[in-house]
Each structure stands twice: as structure tokens, then as C-alpha cells.
Chain A
Amino acid sequence: MSVLQQVLANKEAEVLSAWIAEQASDRTLQKGGSKSDALKEQSAELLGALREGVQQGNGEDIQAPGWTRTREILTDISAHLIKRGLTPAEVATFVFSLKRPLFQLVQTATAKTPEVLANELWTTNQLLDRLGLFITEVALESREKTISRQQTEMLELSTPVVKLWDGILALPLIGTLDSERTQIVMENLLQEIVRTGAGLAIIDITGVPTVDTLVAQHLLKTVAAARLMGAECIISGIRPQIASTIVHLGVDLGDVSTKATLADAFAVALRKLHLMVARMPHSGTSTE
């Protein structure tokens, strides 16, 4: 039985209380909630798993089946600490804070045999370094996932139908049109056309970063459906690079009217309703 194994088996309570004290005095881990019961419980669980892992032998390969439980607990702890705003490097200090308490107990247990001491300290150190690296990697991975999910969510379509004038609706599309929600947004527009009896709808795609066949198909379908309900659509916000790309792609917008900007489209819509915008005659004293 190795000394580390003995320490973990016989002095578990001692190790735990020393470790928790160590965590509580660490500024980084305080941010991670080292004084909370959640982290204390996870620490106790981890010690139990470590004991099992060391018992089953090979501390050199923490990917081995004997370390499954340890890896699972470390993954949970990593998620917990990342959520509390710790960086992956800070997450690793959780594992490293176990070094001092463990080393001290290993040292006490081998006080009479210095040659064993050096050896035991080395293997204990190696094991904790491996676990520290492992938790860092897990933390990095989960952080990357969070970031890419946030980016994707940010790009999700957020879209109210707005009334610009009596009979003129606008749908300013912002974000990507890949998700199922696009369908809902388009249906919303059609419902508003019915509800308000609007004869003109401007679909503005200034905020849509990429117009590919899927986007084009959504637009064409919406325009066709609106037409069946007696409303005409104008697509606005087609930037030059998008116009050129649509042409190369081979998408035929047919007789759908398009305008470069929402303002242009609004002007067209007003004209169709025989409305005009006029400058107010000067009130007050003349300056001419």
C-alpha cells in the first residue's frame, strides 16, 4: 500500500478539513464559492473518488477506468467554477490547493523514512499536476462551448413587425435565418398583413449577414404568400456585395421589387399609396 493510499484511506477527514481551510483562504477560490456548502460537498466527493482511484493503482494514466469517477467530479466542479466566472487557469487552482494538505500528511506519515518521502511526494505531485491539467482542459472546452452558444444566440432573429404608416408595414430582419424561428417570423408578417389590411410590406434585410438560397427561398415564399393576400412586398437593404452574390448564386428574384435602403422602399410605398412628404411652410417670421 502506498503512503498516499494510506493517507487517503485513514486520514480522509483530516485531509478534507485542511483542504477546505486552504480553499477558504485562497482569494481565487473564494470567488468560486469556497465557503459554500456546494463546493465543500464536491471536495469531499472528490477525495472519496481519489481514494478509489489510487487504490485501483495506476496514477500515471488518469484516463484509465479507475479514474472515471474522479474525472466526472472534476468536470462538475469545473462547470460550477466557470459559471461563477473563474478562468480555466483559476479553475486549476482548485486542484492545486490540495497539494499543501496532502504533502503535509504524506510527510508526517513518512517522517522516519526520508528516502520513501521523496518518492511519495514526487508521485503525489505528479498525480495532482495531471488532475490540474485535466480540469484546465475541461474548463477551456466548456468555456469555448459557452462562447459559441452565446454568439449563435446573439445572431438569432429578433423581429417585430412595425407599422410605418397606415397601410405600410415593415419587417426589419436582424440576424441569421437558419433556425426554425424564421418560419414563425414570416408567418407573423402575413398575420399582421391580414389583421391591419396593409397593402404594402417592406422586408428589410440590412441586418442579415448572409443571403443564401435558404434565405432567398424564405423571402420568395413570403412575397408569394403576401401577394395572395393582396399585399405587395418590397425587399430593402440589399447591399452591393449581397446583390452581386445573389446574381452569381443564380437566384431569380423575378418581379419582386427591391431597394437599396429602407428609406428608398418607404418612399416607393408612399408613392404607391398616393401620399407625399412635404416640407412644412415656415411658421414664425420669414427669414427670406
Chain B
Amino acid sequence: MTGKGEILPLRASEDVVIVRQRVRALAAQEGLKLVDQTKIVTAASELARNTVIYGRDGTALLEAVEAGGRRGVRLTFEDRGPGIADLQLAMKDGYTTGGGLGLGLSGSKRLCNEFEIESKVGVGTRVTITRWR
């Protein structure tokens, strides 16, 4: 697996806009179809905003990846916020502590091929998603 990454800061809502733009450009460059581009950009928007709202000192890592002759886009959102105590609960449709729709985490999982979440209370949260071509 090869990766060539770009790291972007996630501190304010403008940063979410920039992450979406960069993800869209990368997904297009990697040859994802328009609908798949839209899906990963939307998932990126959700996770980037979670990082800005709930996390602290957040970053997004954007990588082009290749495995078994397939190309794709992998995104890693990382923060040093309060972490999530109950991951199962946070992943439930409709669960929100921020007055949202509570669909960001569960929805972005459905929008991608691979979804991984790690979180430790008091340490931070990391979400990695991949969308293959």
C-alpha cells in the first residue's frame, strides 16, 4: 500500500470548506466516479465538522492509496479532544449531544467502503475512512 499524504488543520468551520475542496480534488484525481466523489466529500464534511466541533487540535490527513491494483482515497481525522465514552452509542443513527441530526458518524460509515474509529476518553478521537474506485 502506498500513500502520499497532505495534512490539513481543522480548527474552524472555514477549514471544513478547505478539506472538502481538497478531498474533491484528490478523489477526482484518483479517478473516482462523480457519485463516489460526492460520497467521500460528504463523509469528509461530516467527520471534519465533528473534529472542529467536538475535538481540539484537529487535523485531516488526505492520502491516495493503492491495494491489489485498486486505487482509492483514504482520509484520517484526528483530534485531541475529550474522546467518545460510548462508541456504540455515538454510532447510532440519531444520537447527538450537539443538537445535530446525529447522522454524521453512522452516515459517513455508510458512505464509504471502510470505516474505522478509535477513541479514548481524555485523549482524543481518530476516524479513518477509505473509498475505493
- Docked CA distance A173–B105 (Å): 26
- Docked CA distance A245–B110 (Å): 9
- Docked CA distance A176–B24 (Å): 14
A279 interface hit (Cβ, 8 Å): no
Which stretch from B41-49, B76-84, B118-126 is at the chain A interface? B41-49
Option from B17, B103, B104 in Cβ contact (under 8 Å) with A176: B17
Residue contact B18 to A152, C-beta cutoff 8 Å: yes
Residues of B within 8 A of A176 (CB): 17, 20
Residue contact B18 to A179, C-beta cutoff 8 Å: no
Residue contact A251 to B103, C-beta cutoff 8 Å: yes
A30 interface hit (Cβ, 8 Å): no
With known contacts A152-B17, A178-B16, A212-B46, A249–B111 Cβ distance under 8 A? yes
A68 interface hit (Cβ, 8 Å): no
Give chain A's interface secondary structure class.
helix
**Which of B13, B38, B39 is most buried by chain A, counting CB atoms within 10 A of its CB?**
B38
Residues of A within 8 A of B37 (CB): 241
Residue contact A178 to B103, C-beta cutoff 8 Å: no
Interface residues of B in 20-67 (CB under 8 A from A): 20-21, 24, 34-35, 37-39, 41-42, 45-46, 49
- Docked CA distance A183–B60 (Å): 27
B1 interface hit (Cβ, 8 Å): no
Residue contact A210 to B41, C-beta cutoff 8 Å: yes
Residue contact A250 to B100, C-beta cutoff 8 Å: no
With known contacts A250-B93, A250-B103, A245–B39 Cβ distance under 8 A? yes
Interface size class of B (residues with CB under 8 A): 20 to 34
Residues of B within 8 A of A148 (CB): 18
- Docked CA distance A176–B48 (Å): 15
Residues of B within 8 A of A7 (CB): none
Residue contact B38 to A212, C-beta cutoff 8 Å: no
Q: Which residue of B lies closest to A247 (CB)?
A: B110
Residue contact A242 to B18, C-beta cutoff 8 Å: no
Option from B13, B14, B42 in Cβ contact (under 8 Å) with A212: B42
Residues of A within 8 A of B20 (CB): 176, 209-210
A244 interface hit (Cβ, 8 Å): yes
Which stretch from A8-16, A50-58, A71-79, A213-221 is at the chain B interface? A213-221
- Docked CA distance A249–B41 (Å): 12
Residues of B within 8 A of A151 (CB): 18, 21
With known contacts A210-B42, A240-B35, A248–B17 Cβ distance under 8 A? no
Q: Which residue of B lies closest to A244 (CB)?
A: B35
Residue contact B101 to A251, C-beta cutoff 8 Å: yes
B128 interface hit (Cβ, 8 Å): no
Residue contact B101 to A241, C-beta cutoff 8 Å: no
Q: Report A208-234 CB contacts with B as 1/0, cut-off 8 Å.
A: 011111101100000000000000000
With known contacts A210-B42, A210-B45, A248–B13 Cβ distance under 8 A? no
Interface residues of B (CB under 8 A from A): 13-14, 16-18, 20-21, 24, 34-35, 37-39, 41-42, 45-46, 49, 93, 100-101, 103-104, 106-108, 110-111
26 contacting pairs across A/B (C-beta < 8 A): A151-B21, A152-B14, A178-B16, A209-B24, A209-B41, A210-B38, A210-B45, A211-B42, A212-B45, A213-B46, A213-B103, A213-B104, A214-B45, A214-B100, A217-B100, A217-B101, A240-B35, A241-B37, A244-B35, A245-B35, A245-B111, A248-B110, A249-B107, A250-B93, A250-B103, A250-B110
What 6 A-B pairs are tightest by C-beta distance, nearest first? A249-B107, A241-B38, A241-B35, A212-B45, A213-B101, A248-B110
- Please give 7 more A-B residue pairs, beta carbons under 8 A apart, in addition to A212-B46, A241-B37, A249-B107: A212-B42, A213-B103, A217-B100, A248-B39, A249-B46, A249-B110, A251-B103
